[in-house]
Amino acid sequence: MEHSFVLFNIVLAACLAFGFATVMNYISGKSFTSEIEGNQRFDTLDGLRGLAALSVAIHHSFFFFGYAKYGKWSINYIGGGYPQVIIDYLGKGSVSMFFMITAFLFWGKILCKAEKVDWIDFYIKRFFRIVPLYVVVVFAALLYVLINIKSKFELFPYVRDTFYWLTFDFFGTPNINGFPNSYTIVSGVFWTLSFEWVFYFMLPVLSVFAVSKKSSAFIVCTMFAVSAFIFYFNIGIRFWTQIHVLCFIIGAACAHLYKFYPDFMRKLKSPDFSVIAIALLGVCIYLFDAPYSHAPTILIGITFLIVSCGNSVFGILKLRVMKMLGAISFSVYLLHGITYTVIFSPLIKSGVSYQAAITITIPAIIALSTVSYLFIEKKFISKGQAITAKTPANAM
């Protein structure tokens, strides 16, 4: 795939997504009233989340193209250069943003509530927010294998491998009954959920330091110092893990600044900082070809800081379509893989061009994710809220 075509395909996929999301917003806009028009302090983060999920989906479209065309889960067929680096950042840079958003929102909530956090309610809400759709996607992948595998049916391998797949990648996602590269069915995205859950489980301990401005600053600075120590002395912790942990630390630091330095954060809302936010991402792509490394992560973190203060980047992140994409972002993230597997890959294998295949698949992802959010995510979010509303205040 020529570099000029790569850039054109990225723009095409993005335009299709925003265009069809606008159509879906027009059709089902009333169902998103609370998400789009509600009084939300962090609506720029909703827009950022939607943009990040869409970027991950576009990123993986090139992996699916390579897998269908050349039999390898890789984008090396592009041949390097800035187009390949851009594709890499679309996925990996967006994942870094996801981790920062998670840390910012939940560390910020703890700072606001201090010692009053009801952890039982917290984990119930997290369970109903994440698990239902995750289970649906796991069984969709299982069904795909059952339909397409050619080996004789045996119950035990499916039970065993389904168990592994239901553990958020804590124990890996093995090939389902030997079906080759089963993880590609879901774009291999489950690993990020294991990092999210570890963060959630650590919050009760970390919350001990969320009682004051000084204690919050102490734990954030300590975590930065430990991270720098591990990196400098090359302590045996996987490099990518260091980067992902750094993302959570950056998100928590931004929450600390938002809570205790509001005047400073308000200054970051100016158009000048919108330019800086975009420029920093350009610097990352121009200077660093490995998104999962310390320098670009810090630059992405500064961009995140600017957005987390409420900077909408010239109003883009506050557009209705961006907020809608933010609402359905978890569905986009979990469902784009199975959609590519069922629709995009067969089209590519049949000789259809990337442009034609993506023109069909991207609207399918947006439509499926919209339905998924309204009839799975939103229903179970409400269920979790209803359960916690009935939980006694002294349940802890």
pLDDT of residue 115: 61
* 93-122 pLDDT tens trace: 999 999 999 999 999 999 987 568 899 999
Least confident stretch, 38-47, 141-150, 270-279, 378-387: 38-47
pLDDT of residue 38: 62
* 320-338 pLDDT tens trace: 999 999 999 999 999 999 9
Tell whether the model's pLDDT for residue 221 goes beyond 90: yes
Name the more confident of 236 and 392. Answer: 236
Q: Is 298 helix (H, G, I), strand (E, B) or coil?
A: helix
Distance in angstroms (rounded) separating the CA atoms of residues 251 and 253: 5
Q: Cβ(66)–Cβ(74) under 8 Å?
A: yes
Residues in the chain: 396
Taking residues 144-163, what's their average pLDDT? Answer: 92
What would the DSSP string read from start to end of 148-167?
H--SPP-HHHHHHHHHHHTT
Tell whether the model's pLDDT for residue 1 goes beyond 70: no
C-alpha pair distances (Å), 237 with each of 222, 244, 247, 374: 18, 12, 15, 40
* 176-214 pLDDT tens trace: 999 999 999 999 999 999 999 999 999 999 999 998 999
Mean residue pLDDT of the chain comes to: 93
Two tokens, residue 251? 């998100």
**Considering the chain, what percentage of its residues have pLDDT values greater than 70?**
96
pLDDT of residue 382: 95
pLDDT of residue 394: 41
Two tokens, residue 136? 């649906």
Two tokens, residue 238? 């996987």
pLDDT of residue 36: 79
Taking residues 228-236, what's their average pLDDT? Answer: 92
pLDDT of residue 117: 86
